[in-house]
Amino acid sequence: MPHAVLNCPLLHDLDIASCHKLSDAAIRSAATACPLLESLDMSNCSCVSDETLRDIAQTCGNLRVLDASYCPNISLESVRLVMLTVLKLHSCEGITSASMAAIAHSYMLEVLELDNCSLLTSVSLDLPRLQSIRLVHCRKFIDLNLHCGMLSSITVSNCPLLHRINITSSALKKLVLQKQESLTTIALQCPNLLEVDLTECESLTNSICEVFSDGGGCPVLKSLVLDNCESLTLVAFCSTSLVSLSLGGCRALISLALSCRYLEQVSLDGCDHLEVASFCPVGLRSLNLGICPKMNMLHIEAPQMASLELKGCGVLSEASINCPLLTSFDASFCSQLKDDCLSATTSSCPLIESLVLMSCPSVGCDGLLSLQSLPNLTYLDLSYTFLVTLQPVYESCLQLKVLKLQACKYLTDTSLEPLYKENALPALCELDLSYGTLCQSAIEELLACCTHLSHVSLNGCINMHDLNWGFTGDQLSHIPSVSIPHGSSLGEQQLPNEQPKRLLENLNCVGCPNIKKVFIPMAQGFLLSSLNLSLSANLKEVDIACYNLCVLNLSNCCSLESLQLECPRLSSLFLQSCNIDEEAVEAAVSRCTMLETLDVRFCPKICPLNMTRLRVACPSLKRIFSSLVPS
């Protein structure tokens, strides 16, 4: 359509978008013939000129909305659109920084869109009613300066040369400026700004901290995201409003100082060069610094903190931790953590219930004696340490329920005797001695005499030999005797009148290479509900009669030949990769009337086609896992 003649004096809305053949003169004639025009869309009308816009501005005094996108010949020179509220200028090649002088006269403007204006280098506007501005894919854009009290939405993205931003607004609550690689300077006067996201603004310098600290122009800022800002090295914030801070991926960061009493969340993932950190004070309830392997100095003052994890801070040598409500403290692999630091921590954090000191070889007796300052301590992990004696633990941790001593290879064979000879740690119910070097007699005495334990782990113990609970009368005379709980459904004739009441419910002997035989009679394993003997490569014979046993794992016991079970409550039996034959399994499961799950995958002597026989032998079976039949 090359021509359009309008005589519509009451027309308010005119849309001639993408009428490519309309000439500049035709558009001018049509629009100026409608003096009451309020909305005009002339996008993709490539012939439109500034002269036409000037005539429209003079004739159509009520024009509120103008879309002149994709009009390459307009620059807004000498154009005055005073009543305009919405202006869209996408991909207008003639729009430059000089065009802002014309836009500045549109003091009623509320919405401004300048996407893909490829020659635009700067925007400086003071528009009291402007609420929204868009600047996307402006490849030469460098400087943004907005003094707009009602501005509530700013969209700036893919402006690779953007260097400076200065914004003043009382209405702005959220600012997102992701992936502005050249951005170095930000100035904000935004009294109601709540959220800022500057992810991947790689050129931001340490001075950014002043902008978001108290006095920096964002007095109520609650959330700040600076992820992958890889030029930040020294970060320090002092804020009475900040609640959430994310510095994930700031790999150059070496020093962090936060004085933000209401800070509840902080993310430091990927800050693996952080050396010095101070959180004084903060409102954090939990903190994980295990991803900072170079941390050597730490100060924390957190009145609300309940959980602190320093796992992997291997060079941490100086730590001041003042967290009066702390209940969980994990210092695994903090090899430089010494007794004086541990003592100071226990003194200032008296409510600790769970303490993990795994692989902390510098902690000694003095440090462990300081645990008497923790009356609520119930969980203690001293695995992979060089402890020779447990006497400081016996003296200091009277309420302990869980004690983990994995790979404590320097403990003497008598180190556990106080547990059953002196009634040390009377509340202890879970003990982990995996990968230790205690002798066979020490292990046997522990299992026989420490009847109050409910969970015991002996995984990988090379001195763990045959598990034989068929005690003689002489052996039983040394073990406390108590009766089986009243009301049990097991017939009295199956149990002796007097026998030890083992509270053991869960026993793990995974990967014990010297176990060849397991014998547990009904009287000795009455409460045992889970037994894991997997990866015990030399285990040949298993004879278990346990009334409460629910789970038995014999997977990868490749030498297993004999299996006898009298376990009426057994629900899961795992025999994966065992060399046992089909008849033995069939006989074993026939006496397990509640068995539901059977795993016989990769058992070379069990044919997958014969699963029906197992189901007949044990009708309660619901799931049998077997290998596929070879094609």
**The predicted structure's pLDDT at residue 4:** 82
**The predicted structure's pLDDT at residue 6:** 85
Average pLDDT over residues 199-222: 95
Identify whether the C-beta of residue 69 lies closer than 8 Å to the C-beta of residue 91.
yes
Identify whether the C-beta of residue 566 lies closer than 8 Å to the C-beta of residue 545.
yes
Identify whether the C-beta of residue 479 lies closer than 8 Å to the C-beta of residue 448.
yes
| 140-167 residues labelled b (16+ CB within 10 A) or e (exposed) | bbbbbbbbbeebebbebbbbeebbebeb
**The predicted structure's pLDDT at residue 312:** 84
Residue 609's pLDDT band, with cuts at 50, 70 and 90, is: confident
| DSSP 8-state code for residue 456 | E
**The predicted structure's pLDDT at residue 162:** 96
Using DSSP, state whether 175 is helix, strand or coil. Answer: strand
Q: For residues 484 and 118, which has the higher predicted lDDT (pLDDT)?
A: 118
Query: How many residues would you count in the chain?
Result: 631
Q: Which pLDDT tens digit goes with each residue over 558-569?
A: 999 999 999 999
How many whole angstroms from its chain centre is CA 212? 25
**The predicted structure's pLDDT at residue 435:** 95
- Most confident listed range (7-16, 463-472, 478-487): 7-16
**The predicted structure's pLDDT at residue 501:** 64
**The predicted structure's pLDDT at residue 286:** 95
Beginning with the edge strand found earlier in the chain, give each strand of the sheet holding 318-322 in spatial order.
234-238, 255-260, 276-282, 297-301, 318-322
Identify whether the C-beta of residue 142 lies closer than 8 Å to the C-beta of residue 163.
yes
Q: Which pLDDT tens digit goes with each residue over 152-192?
A: 999 999 999 999 999 999 999 999 999 999 999 999 999 99
Q: Which pLDDT tens digit goes with each residue over 273-329?
A: 999 999 999 999 999 997 888 999 999 999 999 999 999 898 998 999 999 999 999
Mean pLDDT of the chain, nearest integer: 91
Task: Decide if pLDDT at 487 tops 70.
Answer: no
Q: Please state, in angstroms and as integers, the Cα–Cα distance from residue 205 to each residue in 183, 202, 268, 540, following that order.
A: 9, 9, 18, 67
Average pLDDT over residues 198-225: 95
Strand partners, 153: 132
Reduced DSSP (H G I as helix, E B as strand, rest coil) percent helix, strand, coil of the chain, to 5: 15, 25, 60
Q: Which pLDDT tens digit goes with each residue over 232-285?
A: 999 999 999 999 999 999 999 999 999 999 999 999 999 999 999 999 999 999
**The predicted structure's pLDDT at residue 495:** 42
Q: Which two tokens stand for residue 10?
A: 């009451």
Q: For residues 496 and 458, which has the higher predicted lDDT (pLDDT)?
A: 458
Domain architecture of the chain: domains with CATH:
465-470+502-630 (3.80.10)
Cis amide linkage into residue 293, ω under 30° from 0: no
**The predicted structure's pLDDT at residue 628:** 67
Average pLDDT over residues 462-474: 73
Average pLDDT over residues 382-398: 94
Residue 475's pLDDT band, with cuts at 50, 70 and 90, is: very low
**The predicted structure's pLDDT at residue 285:** 96
Instruction: Show Cβ contacts of residue 132 under 8 Å, excluding neighbours closer than 6 positions.
Output: 110, 111, 112, 151, 152, 153, 154, 155
Going along 346-484, which residue ranges are E strands? Answer: 354-356, 379-381, 402-404, 430-432, 455-457, 467-468
Q: Which pLDDT tens digit goes with each residue over 360-386?
A: 999 999 999 999 999 999 999 999 999
d(CA 598, CA 536) in angstroms, rounded, equals 19
Q: Which pLDDT tens digit goes with each residue over 582-601?
A: 999 999 999 999 999 999 99
Specify the amino acid at residue 519: F
**The predicted structure's pLDDT at residue 525:** 63
d(CA 101, CA 467) in angstroms, rounded, equals 90
Using DSSP, state whether 139 is helix, strand or coil. Answer: coil
Specify the amino acid at residue 135: L
Identify whether the C-beta of residue 443 lies closer than 8 Å to the C-beta of residue 413.
no
d(CA 619, CA 216) in angstroms, rounded, equals 75
**The predicted structure's pLDDT at residue 384:** 95
Q: Which long-range contacts (CB under 8 A, 24 or more apart) does 97-106 make?
A: 97/121, 97/122, 97/123, 97/124, 99/75, 100/124, 100/125, 102/76, 102/77, 102/78, 103/76, 103/127, 105/80, 105/81, 106/81, 106/82
| 493-522 residues labelled b (16+ CB within 10 A) or e (exposed) | eebeeebbbbbbbbbbbbbbeebeebbbbb
Task: Decide if pLDDT at 485 tops 60.
Answer: no
**The predicted structure's pLDDT at residue 452:** 87
Using DSSP, state whether 429 is helix, strand or coil. Answer: coil
Give the range among 92-106, 249-263, 597-611 with minimum mean pLDDT: 597-611
Task: Decide if pLDDT at 41 tops 60.
Answer: yes
The two counts, helices (H) then strands (E), for the chain are 12, 39
